[in-house]
Amino acid sequence: METLWLEIILMITVPGIIFILVMGLFIDWLDRKVYARGQNRRGPPFLQPLYDIVKLTAKETIVPKGVSKFWYTVLPIMFILTAITGALMIPISILDNTDSFIIGFTSFKFDVFFVLFLLLSYGLLIYFMGYITKNPYAQTGATRSLLQVLSFEIPLGFAILVPILMVGKDRSDFILGEISKKVYTAVGENPWFIIGLVIAFCVSIVVMMAELEEFPFDSPIAHTELADGWLVEYGGWRYALIRLGERFGAFFIGGLIVTLFLGGPYLGNTLGLNPYLGFFVHLVIFVVKLILVVALMSFLRTLISRIRIDQSVRLAWKTILPIALVALMLTIGFKLI
Amino acid sequence: MAEDFRSRFRVLTDGSDAPLGADHHIFVGPQHPWAEEPAHFIIHVKGERVVEANIRIGFNLRGMEKAMEARTWRQNTMLIPRACGICSAVHQNVYVRLVERLAGIEDQISERARLIRMFSCEAERVHSHMLWYGILAHDTGFDTLFHVTWRDREIIMDIVEDISGNRVNPALMLIGGVKRDLPKERADKARPMINDLIKQVEYHKKVFTEEASIVNRLENVGVLTKEDAKKLTPNGPTARGSGLPYDIRKTFPYELYDDIDWNLVYYTEGDVLATTLVRLDETLESLRMLNQILDRLETASGELLQRVKPRISEGKYMTRAEAPRGEDIHYGIANGTDKPERYKIRAPSLGNIDATLKRMDGEYIADMPVILRSYDPCFSCTNRVMIINQSTGEKKIMGQDEFALKAIKAKKYNRPFF
pLDDT, one tens digit per residue, over A23-78 is: 888 988 998 898 888 888 888 898 888 898 888 888 888 888 888 888 888 989 99
- Nearest chain A Cα to B151, which residue? A40
Alpha-carbon gap, residue A169 to A164, rounded angstroms: 9
Spatial CB neighbours of B301, under 8 Å, sequence gap ≥ 6: B110, B111, B112
**Strands (DSSP E) along chain A, which ranges?**
none
How many angstroms away from the CA of B42 is the closest CA of chain A? 13
Determine the pLDDT at residue B387.
Answer: 47
Q: Out of A40, A222, A227, whose CB is closest to B141?
A: A222
Closest by CA to B384, choosing from B11, B30, B64, B36, is B64
Please indicate whether, in this complex, the C-beta atoms of B366 and A303 are within 8 angstroms of each other. Answer: no
C-alpha dihedral (B145, B150, B156, B160), degrees to nearest 10: 160
> With 0-12 CB in 10 A as exposed, 13-18 as middle and 19+ as buried, what is B264?
middle
pLDDT in tens, A276-329: 777 777 888 888 988 998 888 888 888 887 887 888 888 888 888 898 888 888
Determine the pLDDT at residue B78.
Answer: 87
Q: Give domain limits for chain B.
A: 24-61+349-412, 64-344
Element spanning B28, H or E: strand B24-28
How many angstroms away from the CA of A188 is the closest CA of chain B? 39
One-letter-per-residue 3-state SS of A104-163: CCCCCCCHHHHHHHHHHHHHHHHHHHHHCCCCHHHHHHHHHHHHHHHHHHHHHHHHHHHH
Alpha-carbon gap, residue B312 to B102, rounded angstroms: 7
Tell me the chain A residues in contact with residue B365 when contact means C-beta distances shorter than 8 Å: 140, 225
Alpha-carbon gap, residue B366 to B141, rounded angstroms: 11
pLDDT in tens, B162-187: 888 888 888 888 888 888 888 888 88
Determine the pLDDT at residue B418.
Answer: 46
Determine the pLDDT at residue B386.
Answer: 47
Determine the pLDDT at residue B379.
Answer: 66
Classify B68 as helix, strand or coil.
helix
Please indicate whether, in this complex, the C-beta atoms of B365 and A225 are within 8 angstroms of each other. Answer: yes
Determine the pLDDT at residue A2.
Answer: 60
Which CATH fold would you assign to the domain B24-61+349-412?
Enolase-like; domain 1 (3.30.390)
Q: Out of B26, B34, B140, whose CB is closest to A305?
A: B140
Tell me the pLDDT of chain A averaged across its residues.
82
Determine the pLDDT at residue B1.
Answer: 45
Please indicate whether, in this complex, the C-beta atoms of B141 and A216 are within 8 angstroms of each other. Answer: yes
Closest by CA to B273, choosing from B211, B354, B347, B197, is B211
Tell me the chain A residues in contact with residue B140 when contact means C-beta distances shorter than 8 Å: 305-306
Residue ranges of chain B with pLDDT lower than 50? 1-2, 385-390, 393, 417-418
**Do B58 and B30 touch, CB atoms closer than 8 A?**
no
Please indicate whether, in this complex, the C-beta atoms of A224 and B369 are within 8 angstroms of each other. Answer: yes
Q: What is the DSSP letter of A306?
A: P
Q: Out of B144, B211, B369, whose CB is closest to A39?
A: B144
Alpha-carbon gap, residue A277 to A273, rounded angstroms: 7
Q: Is the model's pLDDT at A14 over the cut of 60?
A: yes
Residues 125-154 on B with a CB inside 8 Å of A are 137-145, 147-148, 151
Alpha-carbon gap, residue A264 to A289, rounded angstroms: 8
State pTM to two decimals. Answer: 0.80
- Residue B53: beta bridge partners? B43
The CATH code belonging to domain B64-344 is 1.10.645.10
Please indicate whether, in this complex, the C-beta atoms of A223 and B33 are within 8 angstroms of each other. Answer: yes
Q: What are phi and psi of B4, to 5 degrees?
A: -90, 10
Interface check B351 vs A, CB under 8 A: no
**Do A274 and A10 touch, CB atoms closer than 8 A?**
no
Whole-angstrom CA distances from A285 to A175, A259, A266, A270, A274 are: 20, 11, 7, 11, 16
Alpha-carbon gap, residue B124 to B129, rounded angstroms: 8
Alpha-carbon gap, residue B150 to B267, rounded angstroms: 25
